[in-house]
Structure 1
């Protein structure tokens, strides 16, 4: 279990060392009023204590991803933990920090507007449509996933749970942020952390472990390639574009900029730890990847969660653990629809102070979501995976443009942006939902797209062009 403990330690060190460096490069200003103070509206702009903001941010970003993704990624063996650690410290946490703090600096604006400020109006309009589509996919994934888990615990059908969860999502989407989210999410956050730690402790206490000797051995029983699939499969916990749509919500509630490191960078590190725990559980609990794959084939990641939790914590503890896991997607699904409402409202210039104006946007949004939810879950998940990581790449490029425009070194975001651009381009070319090209060709295209992206970025977002644009951008 050396790799397990080492991964946890590295994530914690990454928060204190690299996270502090990222915050310093950005230029945290504790004396600068946040949107929660300057734009209070009692609905979305509501100042809250930092401990609440942190726990809500964690629940907002930690959907099924840091559980289902690492479980599926465990089919590749211990290498999954390596990706989580590296991706989280140098990619995901940096991505979440900039998406949150750039929103703080620009009036709590949604991520399409953040991107538009740095990459231009064309990207802004594209991101508005792309973000809403992604958020609907996220909301649907986070309805079907918990509905399946709850069906395993009760006699209520999956379809009925879908309806119940959708009703809750609608209520949470239109009510002021401090009425539901601000009150119950901190409690849910504490339960989530307790359950993850409890499972990790019992895994160790009962002697479950795994060897790191297969670290660089191809273990996927379906013979699926590590590159680029593992970087799409394990998104939340390593890097996830969905988080960029969530961070602006807490940017509107942050009491002081000095807490940005803790809330945005730290929230992602906490999710990374959860992902490490679930990847380790999936590897250690099953003797071989083939055994894990058999369980996945029978009931998907939900059955793995139920089986592992019941074995380690007993019947009652297992139920509590599964409930804790259910809270993850439910508390991300409602904020996915809430984020979609805010993005549409920003685009339409429609104030959200009045109940009817919130309902005006929410009703058609949920009707579309319900119709799409009737599609097969696996298909939705595959498209969500690609769209999610594409969003991450775009937001990292936007962060790089910001750093270039204010005259700071952009490489801490440009390097992960290049990597994720190569990942999503290769995946789109290789996957059956894309162009279904041979892997060498797909990888070549991915590398070419990344190189071209870098050339365009260096040409148009540095030097005199960036200096000129920064005049209006920083005022």
Structure 2
């Protein structure tokens, strides 16, 4: 339990230490005007209380990631604690805070427009298409997943639930942010916390033993170590609990609702650290509940690596009927609340590059109808195929965001190295992964390592040249 408690303490401490350091690096100004007032439209640009923006941001970024991803990542052993902690603080929270604060300072710009401003027009056009498609993909994934779970609890088929969820998504995407999202998300966010802290109490005061990181436990305890190597697979498996490119697309949505730049720390950094805490708790209970990582791997393998089954067993056993209700709420409401904001974000991204204001419902419909038609078409694809490509594309987005943050800091003569190193690391992970993964080129491990390293070195070299050129004024921003 010592490793777990140290990691938990580091996550909490980072909010009072590293987050304040980032406030200085990003020149947080509590006296500056914010988009929720200067661009207020009553739909997307709308001031909300900080406690609401925090809980909405948490639900926006959470989905099933800090629960399902953490449980699957826990099969690797206590090394998962290290990745959740280090990733959440120095990569995930940095990315989320940076993307939110840059948007806040740039009039609430959406993620592709921020990338385009600092990385050039070509990258902007690519990112518009890539991010828009990824948002629709996320929305589709989070229609199919919850619909499948609800089918098991009701007499309705999955396809019927997909249409019911779709109707909700349409309303949440079109209506002003305070009508549905602002009213219901805080409730779901509170439920996510209650479930996590209930499990934390069981871990600390119950009969469970959390494995510690040691020489003997520092290894790969999955059922297929050769097919699921720690590097790079662990860093793709645990995404939302450590770093997720999807988060960078969500932060600008709350940047349009924040009422003071000072709120960036609790809303952007705080929500990511909270998600890291939730992921740490679920990774710990996954290892402890089945008496170690070997037991967890065996149990999940027996049930087709179905994390939803594991959540149901854990909560029913440890928290009783209340836990079962919270588990259902978590595995259904959490992804739905990420899916609806993904579609809303897709609308905002399209509106930004089309320069179409969104105050009128008619104009929101012009953009939303094609987006939902594409989303429905994606739901007809096999779910496991969609999810595999989403997981990789999600981390590619994180790498791109971190390179953008590097340039942003470099232009302002701030310490860009704090983003450069995470950007290089995530570039290596996604490059290495796509070369060896089954859904990628499926090269031998060491061949993929060599090619991935070479590609990463080339990208790092290009980005170093670009950053130097921007700083010296040879390339204009």
Normalised by the size of structure 1, how large is the TM-score?
Answer: 0.95
Indicate if the aligned counterparts of 2:72 and 2:237 stay in contact, CA closer than 8 A: yes
Indicate if the aligned counterparts of 1:103 and 1:114 stay in contact, CA closer than 8 A: yes
Matched, 1:243 2:247: yes
Structure 1 partner of 2:222: 220
Distance verdict in 2 for CA 1:33–1:237, change over 3 Å = same
1-structure distance, mates of 2:156, 2:4: 37
1-structure distance, mates of 2:113, 2:40: 19
2-structure distance, mates of 1:278, 1:469: 49
Indicate if the aligned counterparts of 2:246 and 2:397 stay in contact, CA closer than 8 A: yes
Structure 2 partner of 1:338: 344
Structure 1 partner of 2:450: 444
> Map of 1:131-170 to 2, 5 A cutoff?
131-170=131-170
Partner of 2:473, secondary structure, is: helix
Which digits, 9 at most, give the CA deviation of each residue in 1:382-437, with x for residues without a partner?
10111000000000000000111111120000000000000000011111211111
Structure 2 partner of 1:466: 471
2-structure distance, mates of 1:32, 1:467: 28
Distance verdict in 2 for CA 1:73–1:408, change over 3 Å = same
Measured on the aligned residues, the alpha-carbon RMSD in Å equals 1.6
Deviation at residue 325 of structure 1 after TM alignment: 3.6
Distance verdict in 2 for CA 1:394–1:336, change over 3 Å = same
Distance verdict in 2 for CA 1:292–1:386, change over 3 Å = same
> Map of 1:59-70 to 2, 5 A cutoff?
59-70=59-70
Indicate if the aligned counterparts of 1:405 and 1:469 stay in contact, CA closer than 8 A: no
Matched, 1:76 2:76: yes
2-structure distance, mates of 1:15, 1:369: 37
Q: 1:272 aligns with which of 264, 276, 282?
A: 276
Structure 2 partner of 1:256: 260
Structure 1 partner of 2:17: 17
Deviation at residue 320 of structure 1 after TM alignment: 2.5
Indicate if the aligned counterparts of 1:100 and 1:244 stay in contact, CA closer than 8 A: yes
Indicate if the aligned counterparts of 2:84 and 2:242 stay in contact, CA closer than 8 A: yes
Deviation at residue 183 of structure 1 after TM alignment: 1.4
> Map of 1:285-296 to 2, 5 A cutoff?
285-296=289-300
2-structure distance, mates of 1:374, 1:258: 44
Indicate if the aligned counterparts of 2:58 and 2:189 stay in contact, CA closer than 8 A: yes
Deviation at residue 288 of structure 1 after TM alignment: 4.8
Deviation at residue 211 of structure 1 after TM alignment: 1.9
Normalised by the size of structure 2, how large is the TM-score?
Answer: 0.95
Deviates more, 1:332-341 or 1:220-229: 220-229
> Map of 1:276-315 to 2, 5 A cutoff?
276-297=280-301, 298=303, 300-315=306-321
Deviation at residue 33 of structure 1 after TM alignment: 0.3
Deviation at residue 357 of structure 1 after TM alignment: 1.4
Indicate if the aligned counterparts of 1:241 and 1:389 stay in contact, CA closer than 8 A: yes
Deviates more, 1:142-151 or 1:89-98: 142-151
Deviation at residue 327 of structure 1 after TM alignment: 2.0
Distance verdict in 2 for CA 1:325–1:203, change over 3 Å = farther
Deviation at residue 15 of structure 1 after TM alignment: 1.5
The number of residue pairs the alignment matches comes to 471
1-structure distance, mates of 2:167, 2:35: 30
2-structure distance, mates of 1:291, 1:144: 29
Indicate if the aligned counterparts of 2:210 and 2:285 stay in contact, CA closer than 8 A: no
Indicate if the aligned counterparts of 1:312 and 1:318 stay in contact, CA closer than 8 A: no
* Structure 2 unaligned spans of 5+: none
Deviation at residue 282 of structure 1 after TM alignment: 1.2
Deviation at residue 210 of structure 1 after TM alignment: 2.4
Structure 1 partner of 2:206: 206
Structure 1 partner of 2:408: 402
